[in-house]
Amino acid sequence: MSFMNDDSHSSYSHAYRQYSQDQVLECRELEVERKYFRVEVKENDRGRFLRITEESQGRRNTVIVPGTGLAEFARLINDVVASVGVEE
């Protein structure tokens, strides 16, 4: 049995290199109760995208919306919030 120390061909390695090449165009952070949110607009060689990361109790969840769907995604969020009458 042999082990390779070079993981440059693994899918994890490729994904990490891609992630590290993302350029942050805008970033905002928000803390609500015990949840921490980070909203970023990023860009890489495949285009722009929105990345929303939620951290709570040591767990992390991420949603990524391609740039081509940002306007529709924003409208959807606004419509849903407006339909339930959320107050500030």
**Residue 45's domain is classified under what CATH number?**
3.10.450.700
State how beta strands 59-66 and 23-32 pair.
unpaired
Beta bridge partners of 8: none
CA dihedral 69, 50, 35, 78 (to 10 degrees): -30
The pLDDT, as a whole number, for residue 6 is 47
- Please report whether residue 6 resides in a domain: no
The pLDDT, as a whole number, for residue 86 is 76
- Please report whether residue 49 resides in a domain: yes
Domain count, the chain: 1
- Please report whether residue 18 resides in a domain: no
2-50 per-position pLDDT tens digit: 344 444 455 555 555 555 689 999 999 999 999 999 999 999 999 999 9
| Three-class DSSP category at 71 | helix
User: Containing domain of residue 37, as a range?
Assistant: 26-83
- Please report whether residue 16 resides in a domain: no
Beta bridge partners of 32: 35
Cα 16 from Cα 22, distance rounded (Å): 10
- Please report whether residue 10 resides in a domain: no
- Please report whether residue 37 resides in a domain: yes
The pLDDT, as a whole number, for residue 12 is 54
